[in-house]
Structure 1
Amino acid sequence: MKARDDSALGGFWAQALGWGISSEEPGVTNLEPEGFVYPDPVAVCIDLVVSPEPKTVKNRVHVDLAATSAAHQAELVARLRELGATPADVGQGDVGWTVMADPEGNEFCVLDSLYADTGPIASVVVDCADPRAMARFWGEAMDWTVHKVADDNAVLRSAKDVGPYLMFIRTPDVKTGWNRVHLDLRPYPGDDLEAEAARLRALGATAIDLGRSDVPWKVLADPEGNEFCLLTPS
């Protein structure tokens, strides 16, 4: 997630999720559950990376936060407002979830009891034009299981059936510019970075040239042009 102030925004999300906070280098704030060890699929961790670029449009990628009941949902919304979140209107109308924005304007939703066994993040949601095509690509890219696929949405989850869901929602919005929130893929320990990049390209990803040779990761785009990073194996 790009951030004008990675430390401050990381502090908000760490308190919102109840996660630990660290920093691998200046300008980067890392969040993960206490005791988390990759590649445990119980969580999708968050990295905040400093960026001077202003937020100008609705994010195409956002997180949904889980609640265990309607009462818990109301308590969570109230606590998030105390932390600095604000109500947001993205044209959702009368729905059962609450749409909010973090202190830098990034939209997120607080659900009710729909997803009670995911941890604090219920799902990562991606706007797209073709949920079926996105489910095909990301299911193979991530080794995740496709739980549902239809013309208007698709739902994936880890093969171990734990942790948050990954959802693709059909929207009429057109992608403009780089996404402020994107997915990072981390190969399994012992994997070869070049081989993994080749596998993703064979699935339909395209390489993005940043014009830099000093970064250890690779930047690619999925079939709809959403940028994602392929990190170095740990």
Structure 2
Amino acid sequence: MVAPTWCDILSGVLVADLMTLVAPPVTDLLRRSQTGTPSPQPMFPTMVAVRNDRVVAIVSTPRIEATMSAATSLAVGLDPQALVVATEARFDGEQPALTYAVMTRERTARWVLQEITGSGDEVRFSVPVDGGEPTGQAAGTLRLLAEAMAQRPVDVSTVARSDRGGTFGEETFLPPEQGRVVVDAGTLATLQERVAQIGGRALYVARSPEAGRLALSAGLPRACLLGGYPGSA
């Protein structure tokens, strides 16, 4: 048996930290899919974007191909520290589980499993564990995520102001923290328009009430904003 390197240990810690952020909203989605309708439904394949150690966006669609098509848009538009794709599956052909394909901006990849027991109101989830070496579709998912995360993200310091006429001496661009929200809003609005056609949904988690209001004013649909901020749905 080969002893793990410091790189292996550090990447494992990083992924474990990411899973503490990603697993709760994903398991909530699965729980809702089992209890929100008269008969349990499969959870939609879901992509989660993490930035600055918090979940910033979630894209969920009925088809894995459609969900995966959001990877490049999220990687370029949101500049996430990681993208995670969660799907419902059966481990060893029998055990229900959630699978997570995790890819960081540094292209650290992990395949994570979380067993599911029970159903409906009694559904329970194990602690996520390393799923080993991915093969088949799992390996393909990680490859697509790596390609997306290799793309250069949008420079949010060059987002033009819409409240200035360009008078000499005035700032041409928004402050980066505001430009960040405007680019986020545009990215999620575009994704929502695309995935809504097949019953999917793109959601944005604003970092503050002010950021939520700015996202709405920048064109984010109200139904896409999470957080219960004024004006959100």
TM-score by shorter chain over 0.5 = no
Greater helix fraction, Structure 1 or Structure 2: 2
Which structure is larger by alpha-carbon Rg, 1 or 2?
A: 2
TM-score, structure 2 length as denominator?
0.32
Q: Provide TM-score, normalisation by structure 1.
A: 0.32
Structure richer in strand, relative to its length:
1
